[in-house]
Structure 1
Amino acid sequence: MVKAGIIGGAGYTGGELIRLLINHPKIEIAFVQSGSNAGNNLSKVHTDLIGEIDILFSATHHYNVDVIFFCAGHGEAKKFIQENDIPNHIKLIDIGNDFRLAADASIKARNFVYGLPEINREAIKQADSVANPGCFATAIQLGLLPFAKAGLLNNIDVYTTGITGSTGAGQSLSATSHFSWRANNISPYKTLAHQHLGEIMQSLHQEAGSNASLAAINFVPWRGDFTRGIFISSTFKFKGNKQTIINAFDAAYHNEPFTKKTSDAIHLKQVVNTNKCIINIEIIADTIVVHSAIDNLLKGASGQAVQNMNLMFGYDETLGLRLKPTSF
């Protein structure tokens, strides 16, 4: 059995990770750390875990583990690693954004691999440390990467809109996350300046080649009137034929366990409570619209982290992740 520790387990991603790991046949949770909830039973915070696991949040950590997940806020993983001497045999998976960019990936003899299995599977298998992709970044990249690899995004302007549920803002209350503001409401934020744009362009260049002339992604994110899930639509001009597009996507994803292309219109409930990314392509005259949908807490966070953990320990990457969508 692989022993897992969780740093910062009281938030939404921590709760999702605990739910996945307690049902994983190869994992034993050794500790769940939380500075604000130390001494409380996990089910006092994640109330749906009543009867599922009977351990307390701890104030500290220990190293009698094989893997540590970082579910704390952005910047906390980097601070933790700098302040602690983590044994080299312990694998690390950061769900935050501290190590996603290549310029930030190295710290104290560790080199974090960008954890998008669809393009970095073999590197993840060999890694001792993985930087989990961002939720918006996952959904946008998976819709665009096959086009980049086929050379179809060179000198092309891409316009992307995406809407996310309130859990994407984390568990702490804010003026734009409480129910009375969020209900029956939508709003844009971080227009053309979202923090995930850097990792998106990094992956597109990885697939297209470092010398490719890729234009910027013009991304407008939206806050949605729902709790979980992300729906993306990316639009750009295209010169070619439909078969070129089909071939690009079939080559990229035909063996992928969680990323699926469909010819039917997609909707958010197909992916909520799953580790899937479902993609649909529309072609209208010379314009392509790529729709992609994920659950921001699963494929966009904790589910993808478990997928990466499975790869790092040599398990089937779908182990513990064959989850059923919400159908109503």
Structure 2
Amino acid sequence: VLFLCMGHGMSAQFLERHPVPASVRIIDLSHDFRLKSNAGDFVYGLPELNRERIRGAWHVANPGCFATAIELGLLPLAKSGLLPAHVSVFGITGATGAGQKPTEETHYSHRAQNLSVYKVFSHQHLAEIREILAGLDEDVQADIAFVPVRGCHARGIMVNAVFASERDLSEIRSMYAACYEGHPFTVMSDEPVYLKQVVNTNYCFVHVEQQDRNVLVTSVIDNLLKGASGQAVQNMNLMFGLEETAGLGLKASYF
């Protein structure tokens, strides 16, 4: 198996210059093969959505970190045909979630005791999020207003998705529980979730609450594990017929 962990745009160039034997499986962690328009035979590597396709895949495109957190927060709605026409999403990420190249905004002396928004309504992960969710519910165009925030912590993503629904909370929670039954790393929580529950693990914790018609779905992941290398290992396990959780029995920094 070959893991491609280079910057965005470099994986496709590498494969053009260096043909890989057909017997070698590939897992790419860049955005080069996530969209259908340039995916070729790459399968989108979100196990909670494509587990069986990943099992038979030779090439897998690992999802983005924000994409993973947002999709796992909204996937049950899309699968049930209940994704609202408009969803507002506010997400905050740690300093390690900003790619490989150091910048002033990723330097911890800038981020400590500080918050700032960036790429408002235009984050690069929106394309794959919209494509995945719209593919599950063709009647919805997946209008997602996403505001990403640079956090003052090192690692971890918290995403809050807000939308209106006429359905009651117990029905929504049951829908989420059914969607993630049998998936070892996505856990429904009856209590509000926080980053320390998932940092240093491959887990995604999801919590749903409601006030009147307003619904809030909160999802938390470690951007370096479930949002990157941990999910890549999870995909490798599926591709090679190993136990899905192999090598990923990691404890949270708070337990």
So what's the TM-score if we normalise by structure 2? 0.97
> What is the match of residue 159 of structure 1?
88
Work out the CA distance in 2 between the residues paired with 1:171 and 1:140: 22
Cα deviation code 1:47-106 (max 9, x no counterpart): xxxxxxxxxxxxxxxxxxxx1001110111100111112110100000010000011101
> What is the match of residue 152 of structure 2?
225
Cα deviation code 1:96-128 (max 9, x no counterpart): 10000011101xxxx100000001000000000
Does the alignment pair 1:119 with 2:49?
Answer: yes
Say whether the 8 Å CA contact 1:97–1:134 is kept in structure 2.
Answer: yes
> What is the match of residue 35 of structure 1?
none
Residue 243 (structure 1) shift: 3.0
- Match for 1:126: what amino acid? G
What's the RMSD between the two structures over aligned residues? 1.1
Q: Which blocks of at least 5 consecutive residues in structure 1 are unaligned?
A: 1-66
Does the alignment pair 1:200 with 2:134?
Answer: no
Residue 222 (structure 1) shift: 0.3
Q: Secondary structure at the match of 2:155?
A: coil
Cα deviation code 1:120-143 (max 9, x no counterpart): 000000000000000000000000
Q: Secondary structure at the match of 1:317?
A: coil
Work out the CA distance in 2 between the residues paired with 1:252 and 1:73: 33
Work out the CA distance in 2 between the residues paired with 1:217 and 1:188: 16
Q: Superposition pairs for residues 263-282 of structure 1, below 5 Å?
A: 263-282=190-209
So what's the TM-score if we normalise by structure 1? 0.76
Q: Secondary structure at the match of 2:91?
A: strand
Q: Superposition pairs for residues 1-328 of structure 1, below 5 Å?
A: 67-106=1-40, 111-154=41-84, 156-208=85-137, 211-327=138-254
The total of aligned residue pairs comes to: 255
Residue 254 (structure 1) shift: 1.6
Cα deviation code 1:135-182 (max 9, x no counterpart): 00000000001011112214x210000000001123432111112211
Structure with bigger RCO (C-alpha 8 Å, 6+ apart): 2
- Match for 1:299: what amino acid? K
Residue 310 (structure 1) shift: 0.3
Say whether the 8 Å CA contact 1:124–1:130 is kept in structure 2.
Answer: yes
Say whether the 8 Å CA contact 2:133–2:142 is kept in structure 1.
Answer: no
Q: Which blocks of at least 5 consecutive residues in structure 2 are unaligned?
A: none
Say whether the 8 Å CA contact 1:234–1:290 is kept in structure 2.
Answer: yes
Say whether the 8 Å CA contact 2:108–2:152 is kept in structure 1.
Answer: no
Work out the CA distance in 1 between the residues paired with 2:141 and 2:99: 32
- Match for 2:79: what amino acid? K
Cα deviation code 1:182-236 (max 9, x no counterpart): 110010000000000111111112322xx31234110000000011000000000
Say whether the 8 Å CA contact 1:153–1:214 is kept in structure 2.
Answer: no
Work out the CA distance in 1 between the residues paired with 2:8 and 2:142: 28
